[in-house]
Each structure stands twice: as structure tokens, then as C-alpha cells.
Amino acid sequence: MSTIALIINLLLGIGSLAWGYYDGGNPDLAFAILGLGLLWGWSIWRRRRWFSAIGLTATTLAAAAGLWINLPFGWMLVGGVGGLLAYDLSSFSNRLRYAAQGEDSKRLERTHLARLGLLIVLTLIFSSIAMSWQSAFSFEWAIFLGLASVWGMSLLVRWMIRN
């Protein structure tokens, strides 16, 4: 389950950064960011965990540079947070691989994903408030929030039905 969350966060982070740069008139940088995402995905598939630190640094710098050149705040935020979550989940899946025999890895995974889910919800709430305050709340951001809300609610309903 954490591998699926890792792939989703990687796609969301890289895709958001690339879309923000492309929408801001920098298609070459957008394709470079997509190339970084492909390398990062390849490194996850080949279990090259050291590349996650490079990916986190690159996504953070790309998001900060995008904010510096006045690219859309929401896409840069989602890109930076997506890179951070992909790095965290990569490290966590590596920790699970070397977990002791007596540890309940499913429980560890559920609690870790629940904490990350809370972090994502709080980030989306505070960033939406900041964007509304600055009158930068766009239609694309509203669609993204709607899709994220529907997906989150479906996960919550599925979890409640199981338990």
C-alpha cells in the first residue's frame, strides 16, 4: 500500500511542477522536470533509494525557483509537498524492508499513511486559505481540491467499511 502511495505522490508532485512550469511559459524546464520524474520512478523500480535525496532536493529547488519567478503558487506547493512525501515514503518502504520479524508491518504502514494523510489535508487547507487571501484561488486549483477530496473521502469510506 505504501508503494502505491509513493507512486501516486511522485506522479502528483512531478506532474504539478511540470504543469506549473509549462503553464508559466517554460516548456523546456517542464520537460526536464518530467525527465527527473522518470529517473526517480526508474530508481524506485530498481530499488536505488539514494536517488530519493536527489529527487527531493531537485523538486524543492524547482518549487522554490517557480515561486521566485511568479509561477502559480498552488502547483509549486503541490509539487514541493509531493516530492517531500515521495522521499518520505521511499525511506519508509526501505525501513519496512528491514523491519524485525516481530514487528507488525501492516500496522506501521497504516499509522504512517494516516499521519501523512493528516499532513496532506492540513497543507491543502492552509494553502487554500492563503490562496483565497491573496485572491489567487483559480479554477484549476478548485478542480484539484475537488478531486483530492473525492479521492480522500472514498479512501475514508472504504476504511470505515472494512473496520
Q: Tell me the pLDDT tens digit for each residue of 98-149.
A: 766 777 777 777 777 777 777 777 777 777 776 666 666 667 767 777 777 7
CA distances from 18 to 12, 79, 103, 121 (A): 10, 8, 39, 22
In this prediction, residue 72 carries a pLDDT of 83
Taking the whole predicted model, whether its pTM rises above 0.85 is answered as: no
Average pLDDT score, the chain: 81
Q: Which letter does DSSP use for residue 155 in this model? A: H
**Nearest 10 degrees: CA dihedral of 39, 43, 44, 49?**
-130
State pLDDT tens for residues 44-64.
888 888 888 899 899 989 999
DSSP 99: -
Give CA 12 to chain center in angstroms: 5
Q: Between the CA of residue 77 and those of 32, 60, 108, what are the distances in Å? A: 18, 9, 27
Residue pair 73/16 in contact (Cβ under 8 Å)? The answer is no
Identify the CA nearest to 2 among candidates 98, 92, 103.
92
Residue 49: the pLDDT is 80
The parent domain of residue 49 ranges over 2-162
CA distance 102 to 60: 37
As for how many domains the chain has, the answer is: 1
Note the pLDDT of residue 33.
94
Report percent pLDDT > 70 for the chain.
88
pLDDT on residue 135: 66
